[in-house]
Structure 1
Amino acid sequence: MENISFGFSSKLTLDPFIIPPGGKYPIFFLGIVIYFCGIFFNLTLLTLIILKRNLHKPMYFILFSLPLNDLIGITAMLPKVLSDIVTETHVVYYPLCVLQAFFLHMYGGGVLFILAAMSFDRYAAICMPLRYSAIMTPRVVICIISLAWGLDFVLIVSLFSLQIKLPICKSVIMNVFCDNPSLLKLTCGSTAINNIIGLFNTTVMQLVSVSVQAFSYVKILITCVISRRSETKMKAVNTCVAQLVILIIFEFVGTFTILSHRFENVSAELQKIMGMLIFLIPPLMNPLVYGLYTSEVRNTLLRVLKKSTVSV
């Protein structure tokens, strides 16, 4: 096959959705509503953390990374998909395709590492309340946040540094957006090393995230069981339930997405939709879950809304 030259002149074709007649614009406007809701919810949470001094605590400084990461995920995927639906072009330049895939994978790993960092913070707060301030110093919080983003960045860069070296001999991405598996299917060279690195990176992400969270929540559960203070139990419920719900949502959607590609009887259209859900549902649900389950965030937002209403 003829190799496609690298550079901004290299064009790839995305495999579009099969949209029934008259369905293009309703789907587009539904997507716009979902996108702006995701942007609004996450920006609201970011703004509250920045402006409200009662949220200037280690827990919320770490939490700040979650809506920021959600904005990266939903923005890297949805605008391009919606644009292709309306314009019916379904074309992307190779470097932009790699860039989109890079940010989407950064988002996926970011969720896992940020949730692990948040669970460790809750472990320190609930299991060692008297030493919490000494443990979660500003320097430690910065180190934890930097480690979460830094480890994610290093793993994804290692994956895509190998990807861009592969010769390309196909021009059709069998998906509505670009990701690493779709890019690997374009190559005419051996992808064994890429598959090994990809599996290694996924294992590291899951192992680090699950291990830290399992340790933290088991310790928190033990502390709640042996503690006679109802305040300790309520504190655990208010903060840990939110994080567990977010983890369950992400892992459930991610697992369902992976399984949809493992069964031949699952239609290509359903696989595309399932692939998109992991970048849509968590960014929509995460700020809502935190708003509902975390009393401090909920009460702060209610005070702001009440003050705004009175002013109006």
Structure 2
Amino acid sequence: MENLTVRTPLKQPIVFELEGFYVPPGYGPLFFFLALLTYIVTLLGNGVVMWVIVTDKNLHRPMFVMVCNLVVCDLLGATVVLPRLMMHFLMGQKAIAYIPAIAQAFCAHSYGAAIQTILAVMAYDRYIAVCEPLRYHSIMTSARLHCCCGLAWFIAELLIFVLFSFHINVPLCGRTIQHVYCTNRSILRLSCRPTPVNNFYGLCMTWCFLVIAFSYIKILSACLKQGRSDSSVRSKAFQTCATHLVVYLLYEIASLIIIMLYRFPSVSRDIQKFFSILFIIAPPALNPYIYGLLSRELRASVRKHLTARIHPKHGPTRAMH
């Protein structure tokens, strides 16, 4: 076992070793197949959603444009983790060089930050749609929509860039990363000195949670007021927010589980690793089906495109009608 009590800085080039999961002998191919199946389902589901939104002009509206941005974010998260995890299961590969490790950690944190900023923009959009329906189209113009989406990505990447810039020259005294994939926290655990700004990212992302919570509280209040005079108005308002709210709760529940698990040292490290992997691969795999179940327009568009592909002779005829 490596002796880290001396805390001697490592010399370049640095090659880390991911602790990974314990894989019982002979079970590597099975775990590889499960990871591969999850990745295929994620790529297929998100790919179909993106393809339909891009090709169907009826879906070129703020709500679906933001869903498309969330799809890109989901594909980023799954691609950051699953390919290397498959290599770990199939070939037992745990070594990762310093630059790829930093790149993976940067992308993993970008995924988490972009989720929050994009969901904040989606919550703002739904707030305007429900609380200011007559002014919605004048407020959420095409230019403002693309500005909001671009700003969401810019803020997310800026926060992560600042987070990593604080530790770019921190000397490291260990090689074993006690995780399944590289994160800022897991790498900084190998630091030779304390890193007091390690919580910067979490503090900065608090504002996104406040924006989302405020928006949905206002939406709920507006729905209850409108519902007193017309229950159909309340039902329609809830339906416009259902998809976003379910996706948001899925992310937040997964995040809360991880936070709680890391606060209890008695919890097995393998359980912590499993839920941290679940957080980054489960939402991207499930979200396309949540969109399909809760969004009638998206479901109808997917059905129309698939029917046109399977029965091309009927495609033009239906399009004419």
TM-score grouping bracket, smaller chain normalisation = over 0.9
SS of structure 2 residue aligned to 1:134: helix
Q: Secondary structure at the match of 2:208?
A: helix
Q: Which segments of 5 or more consecutive residues in structure 2 lack a partner in the other structure?
A: 1-6, 314-321
**2:257 corresponds to which residue?**
256
Corresponding letter in the other structure for 2:279? I
TM-score computed with the length of structure 2 as normaliser:
0.90
Q: Which runs of 5+ in 1 are unaligned?
A: none
Q: How does 1:1-312 map to 2 (within 5 A)?
A: 1-6=7-12, 9-192=13-196, 194-195=197-198, 199-206=199-206, 208-227=207-226, 228-311=229-312
Counterpart secondary structure, 2:107: helix
Contact 1:126 1:232 (8 Å CA) reproduced: no
Cα distance change of structure 1 residues 231 and 303 upon mapping to structure 2, 3 Å threshold: farther
Kept in 2: contact 1:126–1:235 (CA 8 A): no
CA distance in 2, matches of 1:26, 1:296: 38
Identical amino acids, percent of aligned pairs: 34
State how far apart, in whole Å, the 1-side matches of 2:62 and 2:120 are: 14
Give a deviation string over 1:170-211, Cα, whole Å, max 9, x none: 11111121001110111102312x32xxx23312213x2222
User: Within 2, Cα distance between the matches of 1:5 and 1:286?
Assistant: 43
Cα deviation 1:103-133 (Å, max 9, x = unaligned): 0001011111111111111111122121111
SS of alignment partner, residue 189 of structure 1: coil
- 1:73 and 1:67 mapped to 2: Cα distance? 10
- CA shift, 1:231, in A, is 4.8
Structure 1 contact 98–178 (Cα < 8 Å) conserved: yes
**CA apart distance, 1:226:** 2.5
Q: CA deviation at 1:12?
A: 0.7
- The answer to whether the Cα contact below 8 Å between 2:45 and 2:288 also exists between their aligned partners in 1 is yes
User: Does the 8 Å CA contact 2:35/2:85 hold for their aligned counterparts?
Assistant: no
In 2, the alpha carbon distance for the partners of 1:126 and 1:295 equals: 18
- Aligned residue for 2:93, secondary structure, equals coil
- CA distance change for structure 1 residues 16 and 215 in 2, over 3 Å: closer, same or farther? closer
How far off its partner does 1:2 sit? 3.8
CA RMSD for the aligned pairs? Answer: 1.6
- Distance 1:24-1:219 versus aligned 2 partners, 3 A rule: same
Cα distance in structure 1, aligned partners of 2:73 and 2:8? 38
Provide the secondary structure at the position in 2 that maps to 1:163: coil
Cα distance change, pair 233–302 in 1 and its aligned pair in 2 (3 A): farther
Matched AA of 1:97: A
CA offset at residue 268 of structure 1? 1.5
8 A Cα contact 1:71 1:283, kept in partner: yes
TM-score, structure 1 as length reference: 0.93
Deviates more, 1:228-237 or 1:267-276: 228-237
The AA in structure 2 aligned to 1:205 is M
